[in-house]
Structure 1
Amino acid sequence: MAGPAAARDRTAVDGAQLNNSLTPHHSEGIPRLTVPFCGTIKGGMRPGKKIVVMGIVDPNPKSFEISLCCGDSDVPPADVAVELQARFPDHQFVRNAFVSGEWGEEETPIPYFPFIPDQPFRLEMHCEYQRFRIFIDGHQLFDFCHRVENFSAINMIKIIGDLQLTKLG
């Protein structure tokens, strides 16, 4: 994102709700944990590091997305190491990556759809050498093999859609 509109879209987080691995972006000097959310992952990702997203699904959701990105550029568009998209109408939790200007093949198989409208959830993204391992409410849901090789370049988290954020870490 670039320009004044992008600056308004970036949100900040109260330091008490965010651990040291994520740095908030500030919007008009007011810290808040709102959607859409855009924040920096200090030092990028590395094997052994995890990201935790806690939130509450909206009462009548259509979808939400959580993306780990390599920067925040629109031109050329930044690589997306992993995009997780919860699609409520068809109960799908789709995974994909955007590398070198192209989206890869979507991955859709899951053992169950873990999100319930108007209910809280805890999503953990564990970075391992070969993959991201995704847990929902403490249960492993799936793995996503890395398509971006340079882990330290994965330095942004973006969250959009039909949910309220309660905590990030």
Structure 2
Amino acid sequence: NSLADVYFPRLIVPFCGHIKGGIKLGKKVLVMGIIDLNPESFAISLTCGDSEDPPAHIAIELKVLLQNPCTSGERGEEQSEIPYFPFIPDQPFRVEILCEHPCFRVFVDGHQLFDFYHCIQTLSAIETIKINGDLQITKLG
């Protein structure tokens, strides 16, 4: 599971990239970046393809509202409460999404934020990462 497994052309937001071979158990997706100076929100999603219409199935979405600090992993009505708020305007961050059984584990700056149980059983179908909102991406892997 090296950085060479994932090919990303340019790190421009909004961003959409292909995860080579899709997600599998033990695979980790890394997003490093810097929050904008006056941010409202951003989202990092792992999806089954990049279709917009109809929208691709979302395996996990990390949605961050910075005006009213709260973070959630969303799937329909499910939201995960978090123990602390790790995102600070104009500061760097490191998000790792680790695929385990039976859930994704989300870490921010090395601290576990929450677990998110798989809603898509065919993990290899999860092959796209989408990032949008008020942030800059410095590294993906």
TM-score (norm 2): 0.94
Which one of 64, 70, 91 corresponds to residue 92 of structure 1? 70
Q: Is residue 143 from structure 1 mapped to residue 127 from structure 2 by the alignment?
A: no
Measured after TM superposition, the shift of residue 108 of structure 1 is 3.8
Q: Is residue 19 from structure 1 mapped to residue 13 from structure 2 by the alignment?
A: no
Amino acid at match of 1:117: P
Greater Rg by CA? 1
- Counterpart for residue 156 of structure 1: 128
> Which structure exhibits the higher relative contact order, with contacts defined as CA atoms closer than 8 Å and separated by 6 or more residues?
2
Cα RMSD between the aligned structures? Answer: 1.3
| % identical aligned pairs | 59
Which one of 70, 74, 90 corresponds to residue 118 of structure 1? 90
CA separation of 1:87/1:106 partners in 2, compared to 1, >3 Å: closer, same or farther? Answer: farther
Which one of 12, 25, 49 corresponds to residue 27 of structure 2? 49
Q: Which runs of 5+ in 2 are unaligned?
A: none
Give the paired residue count: 140
TM-score (norm 1): 0.79
Q: Any idea what the Cα deviations from partners look like across 1:103-149, whole Å, max 9, x if unmatched?
A: x1141410011000000000000000100001000011110011111
Q: Any idea what the Cα deviations from partners look like across 1:20-64, whole Å, max 9, x if unmatched?
A: 22223xxxxxx5311111100011001100000000000010000
Amino acid at match of 2:124: S
Ranges of 4+ aligned residues in structure 1 off by more than 4 Å = none
